[in-house]
Amino acid sequence: MKPMALHCGIEIGDVALASCSDAQLQAIKQAIYERGVAVFRDQDFTPRDHIAFAKRWDGIDVNAYFPLDPAFPEIALVKKAPDQRTNIGGAWHTDHSYDPVPAMGSILVARELPPTGGDTLFAHMGAAYDALSDDLKARIEGLEAFHTADHVYSQGGVYAGTDQAGELRGQDVTTGAVHPVVIRHPQTGRKLLYVNAAFTLHFVGQSREESLPLLMELTSAALAADNQCRLEWEAGTVAIWDNRTTWHNAMNDYHGHAREMHRITLTGETLAA
- What are the 10-residue block averages of pLDDT along the chain, 273 residues in total? 97 97 97 98 98 94 95 98 97 96 97 98 98 97 97 94 94 96 97 97 98 98 97 98 98 98 97 95
CA angle 182, 184, 189 (to 5 degrees): 150
The residues pairing with 76 across neighbouring beta strands, listed in sequence order, are 68, 263
Distance CA 260, CA 252 (A): 13
Beta-ladder partners of 121: 230, 249
Q: Return the C-alpha torsion angle 258, 71, 55, 62, nearest 10.
A: 70
CATH architecture of 2-266: 4-Layer Sandwich (3.60)
pTM: 0.97
Q: Provide the pLDDT for residue 243.
A: 97
d(CA 210, CA 157): 22
How buried is residue 48: exposed, middle or buried, by Cβ count under 10 Å (0-12/13-18/19+)?
A: exposed
Provide the pLDDT for residue 145: 98
Q: Are 273 and 68 in contact (CB under 8 A)?
A: no
* pLDDT score recorded for residue 58: 83
Q: What is the pLDDT of residue 5?
A: 97
* Domain chopping of the chain, boundaries: 2-266
Query: Is 87 in contact with 257 (CB distance < 8 Å)?
Result: no
What is the predicted pLDDT for the residue at 123?
98
Rounded alpha-carbon distances, angstroms, from residue 196 to 17, 112, 203, 211, 271: 30, 28, 12, 13, 15
